[in-house]
Amino acid sequence: MKHLLSIEDLSREEIDSILDTAVSMQDVQHRDVKKLPTLRGRTIINFFFEDSTRTRSSFELAGKWMSADTINLSGKGSSLSKGESLRDTVLTVDAMGVDLIVIRHPASGAPKQVAEWVNCSIVNAGDGTHEHPSQALLDAYTLRREFGDLQGRHVAIVGDLTHSRVLRSNLLCLRKLGARITLVAPPTLMPSGIASWSERDGFATSHDLDAVLPTVDVVMMLRVQRERMAGGYFPTAREYAVTYGLSPRRLDLLPDHAVITHPGPMNRGLEISADAADAVRSRILDQVSAGVAVRMSILYHLLAGEGSAT
Ligand code: CP
């Protein structure tokens, strides 16, 4: 594996291998001394052209805990603001001899394009509305810890599907792991062409959240991405919360064993109520915790290669 650009590029075996390695990486989080020698001498640049709390800090921790040298760059603080092109910027960083660039960019496909320009490894940390593969892997890790094998488990993915790169990566990843998926959204927030897509890829769609909730093992709530919405996708925030939000009333519709996930950041009171976010069955902070272990595993697979000691 040279790059992590899309879940589409990963086989079932590669996904299992990343998740298995993450299990041993998670032990490091609970040690007094959080340090492995695995990536000593390796250099990683986190290059974020969009804001991030979880992804950027967990990739930075993942690199540091494996003894890599890590540097953070943002679009605003780089020479891009002086007119330098993305190509010249990443060629400049590559020429310094870095081993891996973690990149988040608002344009779908930007990490793939960058991977064609440079010699180092590239990790897609979220590109436009296309993919967020490390998020899907950490979600799968969290659910695998909960349920073991995900074969036949029913996952409802709910909310702003049109603008969600998390949806696309999770759909691909969970299908590869054998989960059954239902997408739930208002008609205005269902991606166009979803009918032919769902037929081909074997998942269901619904506009009726109340009908789906009693049948799920997992309800994955997605953020309403107001920053990507130019027009009115729903009449009011209140109407969205009433129709598609995971409200206290809807918590009672879930089976006893079902869990709640959300990739964050959350809009409390819009797609998810505080009662749901903080419920005993919420796995939202477990996802954050898994994010470091899974990203350690991703860096290990890209930079340390098979057979290196953890
Ligand atoms: N889930 C996620 O990508 O969060 P951040 O934007 O905080 O990285």
Residue pLDDT tens, the chain, 310 long: 999 999 999 999 999 999 999 999 999 988 999 999 999 999 999 999 999 999 999 999 999 999 999 999 998 888 888 889 999 999 999 999 999 999 999 999 999 999 999 999 999 999 999 999 999 999 999 999 999 999 999 999 999 999 999 999 999 999 999 999 999 999 999 988 887 787 777 899 999 999 999 999 999 999 998 777 766 788 788 999 999 999 999 999 999 999 999 999 999 999 999 999 999 999 999 999 999 999 999 999 999 965 443 4
Residue for token pair 């702003």: 160
Could you tell me the distance, in angstroms and rounded to a whole number, from the CA of residue 52 to the centre of ligand 1?
A: 5
C-alpha span between 152 and 173 (Å, rounded): 14
Residue nearest atom 3 of ligand 1, based on CA coordinates: 55
Helix (H, G, I), strand (E, B) or coil at 73: strand
Helix or strand (DSSP H, E) at 220:
strand 218-221
Residue for token pair 């959300």: 262
Could you tell me the distance, in angstroms and rounded to a whole number, from the CA of residue 151 to the centre of ligand 1?
A: 27
135 lines ligand 1 (CB under 6 A): yes
pTM: 0.95
Residue 86 backbone dihedrals phi, psi, to 5 degrees = -60, -40
The tokens describing 277, both together, are 């976010």
- Closest ligand 1 atom number to CA of residue 132: 3
Residue 153 CB contacts under 8 Å (≥ 6 apart), including other chains:
143, 147, 178, 179, 180, 217, 218
Mutate to test the pocket of ligand 1, among 46, 48, 50, 52 (most ligand atoms within 8 A of CB): 52
Mutate to test the pocket of ligand 1, among 48, 49, 53, 72 (most ligand atoms within 8 A of CB): 53
Could you tell me the distance, in angstroms and rounded to a whole number, from the CA of residue 64 to the centre of ligand 1?
A: 19
55 lines ligand 1 (CB under 6 A): yes
Could you tell me the distance, in angstroms and rounded to a whole number, from the CA of residue 68 to the centre of ligand 1?
A: 22
Strand order in the sheet with 43-48: 69-74, 43-48, 100-105, 121-127
52 lines ligand 1 (CB under 6 A): yes
54 lines ligand 1 (CB under 6 A): yes
Q: Of 94, 68, 100, 80, whose CA–CA distance to 3 is shortest?
A: 100
Could you tell me the distance, in angstroms and rounded to a whole number, from the CA of residue 307 to the centre of ligand 1?
A: 31
